[in-house]
Structure 1
């Protein structure tokens, strides 16, 4: 699995969350406290927004804790909205193109989870990506495929529903090949103004996801960044959230319900 965090609010230096917290993302890369994979050393990535319409990305295949450039970059870069991710591969190669976050236009996306039997359904997932978006298929992960399928499902018009439809399509493919777990999904995605996040699984093991309201913004993270348990809210399975300034809007996120409704129709 993987670990990630996101920030939206007043400008802040990236290292304040990526490096300087009690349980910062870099600490999670070598000692995650929640989830089945304590070490997340198969690369890392950042996406941050400034005055441009599109985000800037920095990725590498080194473990996050050993990258001196990451320390320099996060120490000198401020942003009002950024995503950060450390990767633990579930089967695909350790390569820059497989590191999160992924991007198309103003959108960025990162994921923690897996689709069962990905090696058996990879071609099918590729076929779900619209032709005009396939040029953005740089890597080989199911995560990138889900993001591009969601783009084709109308991410611009309805970011939560489009992502839910994409997850349902990928889960359906996994169920057809019969490899467990069919789908585990915790993700963040952003258009540069808002952050969306969702937590879902086809079984009872949805990857962890939390958020915290601060006086100057919102943090979303795979696990709390400190020991203040009262300050963090666990996002429940089958739920998506959307930030609107410092306000958190909650949505139902139930790809499985749509999947079974389609089967019974």
Structure 2
């Protein structure tokens, strides 16, 4: 959704699915992603074993507002290969450095762990956006990724890496628990980390868009009644405003 809104704002965007579950790939409309012959796994495996990389056009999937480097279950094998790979933290960097000249933004969607694949993402990234639901475990996750980023910089894996901000998701401002968790996020991290002004609302229609392999804007535009469109416009506006915050930094 964030990539789509950057595309709406005229930016050329590449999404990289770095999760073996392939949820981003499926939301982009590739439902039978495990049948793909060419994925980010292909690029990384070939790089690890010093084999020729396939033509980028054989791997990239083009959508209206974004391009996608897809993923599937094969990425779990890459995770194992990386253990003994030379310069294992920089395999993804060697691949994505070739794409940087062609895109304004490359967004890497990582699995919710801190293993070697997310470290590869941190090695190539300029900025980290930390999505966080206003829940206790989400807040604990912020501290974990914050400490990991400090380690990445300390070990010279990527000294220029910065945290772009915490993006609060599943936001229901009328709930007391949401208000309490939001206050905790502000108190604990507000002085150390930027917190995006825009927040992603908790709406069942957002989940519906994912199930239909659409962005929230695409689903909004498909609705024919004002009532249905109004049910999604808050989410569309939220992602659009986050994209504007990123561009204007």
* Same fold per superposition (TM over 0.5): no
Higher strand share: 1
Q: TM-score, normalised by structure 2?
A: 0.31
Please tell me whether Structure 1 or Structure 2 has the larger radius of gyration of its CA atoms. Answer: 2
Q: TM-score, normalised by structure 1?
A: 0.30
Higher helix share: 2
